[in-house]
Structure 1
Amino acid sequence: MVNDMSELAATEPTVDSDAFTTGCPVSHGAGPAMPVPLGPESLTWKYFGDWRGVLQGPYAGSMQNMHPQLGAAVEEHSLFFRERWQRLLRSLYPIGGVVFDGDRALRTGAEVRDYHIGIKGVDSQGRRYSALNPDVFYWAHATFFMGTIVVADWLSGGIGEVEKRQLFDEHVQWYRMYGMSMRPVPGSWEEFQEYWDHMCTNVLEDNKATRDVLDLSTLAVPPFAQWIPEGLWRFQRRLVAPLFVWLTVGLYHPAVRERFGYTWSARDEWLHRAFGQAVNLLFKFVPERKRRHPRARAGWDRATGRIPADAPLVQTPDRNLPPMDTWGSPMHYNPKVS
């Protein structure tokens, strides 16, 4: 069911073509029926746009980068480590839009996909990589799906197998929004678990891109909190950075922990679960609309009639924009130049 890395490296990018994929140079032929976006009745809408998801951000980011091709792409093309906060906060808008943009989600998905067209090359070991390799692109999506499971099961009170199967089915529907080949997508929740275990055990690597995500020792003051004095931020960072790494390690597959040299005890597991329960309890005091990312909140507002259905999509604030010397690059989401 899953290709080995030699086959991954040789796989050419493939995109299922339809009207919404116009402009992508790897489109071909006639595609399937138009995908249907997820809506407010889905569990994905309930969990994916929740601000609690920020707590699993290093988990999703590091898991993505462990993929050999994706890690190479990040090392050679990404500005993430030049603008970590801005890149993370900016990306939440189009990625969230693929779920919450309603009848505009197809266009948002195509935009997200096409940011990756030029990301390809040969890594330091001579292996070819492409961000539009279907196996690579799906792996990134799989980490978003597993991040949704994490938010639901660890930070929101827990879910059962029925809900996980529903979230799996919804992640397939969500993935169709990108117009990519569906070849790598497992056929069921059970097959996905086999896929995830295989990837974590046999494919993922300990590489620089992943280690850099886990290194929070130089993380800058976030753009939304520039009022924090630098000295106070450095003090907070020394306290918080080890906590975030510990939280991230607790979410890893055992094979990933072993590969990176982390240990995990029964006491760690109990404390980790207790932390998630405490977060869930605290969020019960947060108004429901305030729990959601602005792009998710706007999707709910359109669905409930709070704002018009054709209201402009919410875009990232200026403080999260990419560096001005990159504004002409097609690889960056930038509402100022779109």
Structure 2
Amino acid sequence: MTPAPPAPTPPGSLFGPDAEFHGFFNDPRWALAVLRATVLEAAHPQIGAALIDNSTFVAHPWRRLRNTLVSLQRMFGDDDEVRRREAARLNRMHARLSGTDERSRPYDAMDPEVRAWVVATLFESALTMRRLSGQPLEPAAMERLYAEFHAFFRALDDTGGHLPPTLKEFWPYYDRMVEEELENTEALRIILFKLFDHLPAPPLLNGLPTVWAAGRALAGPVVGTVTVASLPEPFRRRAGLPEVPGAQALMQGAYLAAGLTRFLPDAWVRTENITSLLYLSPDSDDPRAVSLVALRDRMKRAGALFRLVTPFPVRHGPAEGASSAAAADGHRNAEEFFTEVLDQTGNGYLDWPDIAAMARELSTRLDLDEPQETKLYKAYADWWRELQEALDTDGDGRVSRQEYAAAVPSLAGPALIRVAEVLFTVTDTDGNGFIDATEYHALFQTAFRVEKPGTEPRYSRSAFIRDFLAFMTARDQTTPFDPLLTEG
């Protein structure tokens, strides 16, 4: 006889600062847990296929991480209206992700079983995080945490039927998924064996390729080894993942070391502070920018010294203290623009998922309601049709780098102008015909650069459209549009 589901707990009591989950969000160990959960998600055939076809996690992993953290904050916060809006946004976003994988198997991001597995991996990875760092949750806390994740799932899918109602029923479900459903997918292999080797620098370290490459060369293999070692053993064996000698000891050491950060001041480990620092620009009006400039100067000198004493090759990004020739004269060449801006998924082609990723990123930043979001997606869809007609010379339904470079990259037809107009309208929330400081920050995630102190900064409609078109047609390397869709 199947046990009856537990009596429902008022949803509000499962979210907010008193929830078990709340303590995880600012815990550095949570980064290891989220990475582990992402790998387990990618091992699901449907999720893996959706990631390969639609996600920007390869080309823009830092942006993907930041958006995930913001979404989790909204969903687990104590504001029911914010949670409702975020759940609706996530449902609209996932409803647009469907297709077939390389073996012609269908995938659908709205499949309740798929969505249940995403929540299951987050929950189980949170428990594993505590266990591996020597602080396993007590049974009552474990039950409470499961109730919170179940409430999170019900906020997305009000039936909640594909996630077992009780913790006792969860474990057979989890074991069955690991043993029967997971595969060594392409997305999993990219995350484990490619992403860390080619991880782009966060905005904080842009222009410091030697420093970043050196750190990545040391940390990347360690993070990959720790992640593989933390995966369920039955899946590791079946997927043929490598068993590195000493990996288990390294994994436990990494979790224990991350756990020691709980003794640091709260301000040092708060997720919001860390992510905002990663995205801090040297020309920002943030008071921390002064210290950032000094730190970058020291890092440049360290990078120069490193190049003198080691033959370590650096092939990614411009040299420290210098810009590329394209940046120097204010222009990008066509192939550079294609790679940095248009190819959002990083697969070497421009197709609808790349265009949709632009609309998705801007809709997320602006937290648009359904009518505004639909209007923005429609504008981008019309632009994609315009691009196809002008650039897809071989008729394969996508635009290659060569096709783009051979055409006129400064093409700015009516559809792209419409994108600029719609983007201005949805950003100008008060409808006064200007983008003010608050609206500007929502879109660009940075402050205005005020030329004259004491003046109120405003961005007019005509100036916004002019600069947007100059950026999107590679005519100019403008600020702030340059990092709008290019930052890691």
Summarize deviations over 1:184-216 as a string: whole Å, max 9, x none. 111221211111111111100111111111121
Instruction: State the Cα distance separating 1:265 from its structure 2 match.
Output: 8.1
- Normalised TM-score (structure 2): 0.53
Residue aligning to 1:19:
none
Render the CA deviation track for 1:128-157: whole Å, top value 9, x for unaligned. 110000001111111222232233333473
Matched, 1:196 2:174: yes
Instruction: Provide the residue aligned with 2:365 in structure 1.
Output: 335
- Per the TM alignment, residue 71 of structure 1 is displaced from its structure 2 partner at its CA by 0.8
Letter in 2 for 1:105: R
2:205 is matched by which residue type in structure 1? A
Asked if structure 2 preserves the Cα contact closer than 8 Å seen for 1:59 and 1:248, the reply is: yes
Q: Give 1:123's match in structure 2, choosing from 101, 111, 114.
A: 101
- Letter matched to residue 125 of structure 1: R
Report the CA distance shift for 1:295/1:144 in structure 2 as closer, same or farther (over 3 A).
farther
CA drift at 1:101: 4.7
CA, structure 1 residues 203+263, in 2 after alignment: closer, same or farther (shift >3 Å)? same
Aligned residues of 1:327 and 1:337 also touching (Cα < 8 A): no
Could you say if the C-alpha distance between residues 218 and 268 of structure 1 is closer, same or farther in structure 2, counting changes exceeding 3 Å? Answer: closer
CA distance in 2, matches of 1:265, 1:78: 29
Match of 1:24 in 2: none
Structure 2 residues not aligned, in runs of 5+: 1-7, 282-340, 345-353, 369-488
**What letter corresponds to residue 220 of structure 1 in structure 2?**
P
Q: Does 1:52 align with 2:32?
A: no
Measured at CA, do residues 56 and 267 of structure 1 come closer, stay the same or move farther in structure 2, by a change above 3 Å?
same
Query: 2:117 matched to 1:139?
Result: yes
Q: CA deviation at 1:283?
A: 2.9
Native 8 Å contact 1:134 1:180 kept in 2: no
Q: Which moved more, 1:126-135 or 1:321-330?
A: 321-330
User: What residue is the counterpart of 1:307 in the other structure?
Assistant: none
In 2, Cα distance between the equivalents of 1:34 and 1:296? 33
- Cα separation, 1, equivalents of 2:9 and 2:261: 43
- 1:224-303 alignment runs, 5 A limit: 224-226=204-206, 229-262=208-241, 264=243, 268-284=247-263, 286-294=264-272
8 Å contact from structure 1 (residues 96, 296) kept in 2: no
Alpha-carbon distance, 1:100 to partner: 1.6
Superposed counterparts of 1:94-113, under 5 Å: 94-103=71-80, 104-113=82-91
Correspondence for 2:43: 66
Amino acid at match of 1:131: A
- Match of 1:28? none
Alpha-carbon distance in structure 2 between the residues aligned to 1:122 and 1:280: 41
Larger Cα Rg: Structure 1 or Structure 2? 2
Kindly provide the CA deviation profile for residues 197-241 of structure 1, in whole angstroms up to 9, marking residues without a partner as x.
1111110011111111112111111223336x2122222212111
Does the 8 A contact of 1:113 with 1:178 survive in 2?
A: yes
Secondary structure of 1:129's aligned partner: strand
- C-alpha deviation, 1:42, in angstroms: 1.7
Whole-Å Cα distance in 2 between the matches of residues 233 and 330 of structure 1?
28
SS of the residue 1:334 aligns to: helix
- 2:155 match: 177
SS, match of residue 121 in structure 1: strand
Contact residue 63 and residue 143 of structure 1 kept, 8 A: yes
Q: Aligned to 2:56, what secondary structure does the other structure show? A: coil
Alpha-carbon deviations, 1:148-192, whole Å to 9, x = none? 223333347332333222211221122222134311111221211
Q: Shift in Å at residue 74 of structure 1?
A: 1.0
Aligned-partner residue type, residue 242 of structure 1: P
Partner deviation per Cα, 1:246-300 (whole Å, 9 max, x = no partner): 110122011121123235589543442233222222331x222443322999xxx
Q: CA deviation at 1:45?
A: 1.2
Q: CA separation in 1, counterparts of 2:247 and 2:198?
A: 26
Task: Check if 1:223 corresponds to 2:203.
Answer: yes
Whole-angstrom CA distance in 1 between matches of 2:63 and 2:360:
17
- Read off the aligned partner of 2:83 and give its amino acid letter: A
1:15-68 CA distance string (max 9 Å, x none): xxxxxxxxxxxxxxxxx9994351322211112443331223331211111111
Local SS of the residue matching 2:99: strand
CA distance in 1, matches of 2:357, 2:150: 32
Q: Are residues 296 and 265 of structure 1, via their aligned partners in 2, closer, same or farther at CA, if it must alter by over 3 Å?
A: closer
Distance across 2 between alignment mates of 1:218 and 1:258? 26
Partners of 2:26 and 2:153 lie apart in 1 by: 16
Residue aligning to 2:53 = 76
Q: How many positions carry a matched residue from both structures?
A: 287
Whether 2:17 is the aligned partner of 1:40: answer yes
Please name the residue that 2:64 is paired with. Answer: 87
Is the Cα–Cα contact under 8 Å of residues 106 and 177 in structure 1 kept in the other structure?
A: yes
Work out whether 1:166 is the aligned partner of 2:144: yes
Relative to structure 1, the CA distance from residue 331 to residue 73 in structure 2 (aligned partners, 3 Å threshold; closer, same or farther) is farther
> Match for 2:162: what amino acid?
P
Report the secondary structure of 2:198's partner residue: coil
Tell me: higher relative CO, structure 1 or 2? Use CA pairs within 8 A at least 6 residues apart: 1
